[in-house]
Structure 1
């Protein structure tokens, strides 16, 4: 256990269904819970947009299996009164509707970054890459996770246990610092209207940074790369794969890392994350070779009068890509009472 997270007094052995529902892919898994540990029974991945609703996806996953005793889904979007419209996906979820399909069992919907936070309850040291050790100061934690979008969450420390809470901080305004950032803001403003951090700190954001450097800063693009970009299903992955040898790709990833350091520090200050910042999502574990920890932390600390506060905050990257799924399983048996 990396963080002592609050537990429920109503834990019971059960079979549960957990889900991590993102804008690109959805992971579903069934677990047997014996009152102490989770045993994986089955797991499948789905393309989210290949389905018109979650009910059909669950039906395909269970495919004749016994109905689970409870379900929990971490969802990329703001959950309000048991309902959510998934960000970047044209359909939503209603927990009561899903429950009604399965004998009115408990069905919980929480934000996907909230499930990531709960997942920290079951992670181990091997699941973490330390960027900056900092100091162990009791207090809150923050989580920032660039993926298909940008998720942010916090964990409130009550002196004994941590209590995860969701935010929609990834949709807050991007704040430029340099003249290049201002040019970036103008470019994004024309393209999107509202310029949020998610427009830069996400898979699509990597492509956006690349296009800005190509179209506005007029950096050279090799003809072979242009051809590959047209044929490649994941242009952002292609950019990161060539960051060592192609200057425009190198600068794209440098800017991505700088913006991530800045927004991670913004989050740390907003939730007073003296105990640490965790970086989740699928992008960073795949791009550790491009992470210059010294430079990243210099950007993270560059906040004027708050530099001394940020210098003490540990910064860690979550390597386990099942963290949100494990967090959903954990919440299914430890719901807020």
Structure 2
């Protein structure tokens, strides 16, 4: 698999052997990796994952990871939140990061922050063929912009601009735009969620917590019965979305099946908006923690049927290739590639 990402330092021989510390910070977990530049590729030397909320600060995690390592010259961080002036307040975690302060506190020459979906896009430079699975292939030559939609703890979205020679990723915060109900049931769900939040965004329905919210709506507002075994599974598992998707894929419970059908439909509809707004004829990539786990559901007709449904642009949408990023390290790899070869 080959994506021509804009990484202008790839042919710079002066950085051969240089080590890059990369991080992927999410609301649930934080992954760190130490990479070494070898030619136009990176070699992963060490990695570890930490539960984000079990640590008071990101610096604490870095110091734990690198306590017996020499200080690397560059720390490149993919972070779930809007990065402005190399600083960020995380969306689903009570951390605030500032590149300059991290350089001072950690003794690192250069700290660079990018959005985690931007990092995921740069990760395409380091992925192999088996790291990506096809939902739909139009069989033609791919040209044009691409888009990434990534539901997990939250909903990440990014664009990848094709400049005629290379792909240039850029971050968005589209997951926080308003949820757009289409059906009577959607309106009932919107009203249910509106009682819990001042504003209902796409992240409220296209995310792990969103799956559970949809299920709770069907159970509590629509009167769907919950079997005792499912109640017990919820008690024994800290990830209710995983319980619901597991039951749905194995056709164990009708409410779980309906919850996942609604989730897949909402993901497809928001993907449609993202693709149209970026004219992403080069392809739609589904990343994050959820799509690889529910890949069998995405291969069914429902996702693509919802995706191509549009008043005037069905013809364009029918041509868009759709793939799922299977490699859970894509954002970590992308942060490393950006730190080693990117322009900042």
Q: TM-score normalized by structure 1? A: 0.97
Task: Find out whether 1:115 has 2:119 as its counterpart.
Answer: yes
Given that 1:123 and 1:323 are in contact with CA atoms closer than 8 Å, whether structure 2 keeps it comes out as yes
The partner residue of 2:53 within 46, 49, 54 is: 49
SS of equivalent to 2:216 = helix
How far apart in 1 are the matches of 2:299 and 2:319? 19
The partner residue of 1:89 within 93, 102, 126 is: 93
How far apart in 2 are the matches of 1:336 and 1:300? 34
The partner residue of 2:219 within 214, 220, 227 is: 214
- 1:108 is displaced (CA, Å) by 0.7
Equivalent residues in 2 for 1:164-183 (5 A)?
164-183=169-188
SS of equivalent to 1:120 = helix
User: Which deviates further from its counterpart, 324-333 or 2-11?
Assistant: 2-11
- For these two proteins, the number of residue pairs brought into alignment is 337
Q: 1:285 to 1:9 in 2, by over 3 A?
A: closer
How far apart in 2 are the matches of 1:271 and 1:231? 42
Equivalent residues in 2 for 1:22-101 (5 A)?
22-101=26-105
How far apart in 2 are the matches of 1:89 and 1:42? 25
- Give the root-mean-square deviation of aligned CA atoms: 1.3
Displaced runs of 4 or more, over 6 A: none
Given that 1:273 and 1:313 are in contact with CA atoms closer than 8 Å, whether structure 2 keeps it comes out as yes
- 1:52 is displaced (CA, Å) by 1.4
- 1:225 is displaced (CA, Å) by 1.2
How far apart in 2 are the matches of 1:315 and 1:284? 12
Task: Find out whether 1:228 has 2:233 as its counterpart.
Answer: yes
SS of equivalent to 1:20 = strand
Q: TM-score normalized by structure 2? A: 0.95
Q: Deviations over 1:16-62 (max 9, x none)?
A: 10111000001001011123221111111001111111111100000
The partner residue of 1:15 within 19, 30, 33 is: 19
How far apart in 2 are the matches of 1:137 and 1:191? 43
How far apart in 2 are the matches of 1:228 and 1:294? 29
- 1:294 is displaced (CA, Å) by 2.1
How far apart in 1 are the matches of 2:152 and 2:221? 25
How far apart in 2 are the matches of 1:315 and 1:292? 10
The equivalent residue for 1:294 is 301
Given that 2:80 and 2:116 are in contact with CA atoms closer than 8 Å, whether structure 1 keeps it comes out as yes
What 5-or-longer segments of structure 2 have no aligned partner? none
Given that 1:257 and 1:291 are in contact with CA atoms closer than 8 Å, whether structure 2 keeps it comes out as yes
- 1:137 is displaced (CA, Å) by 4.0
User: Which deviates further from its counterpart, 289-298 or 255-264?
Assistant: 289-298
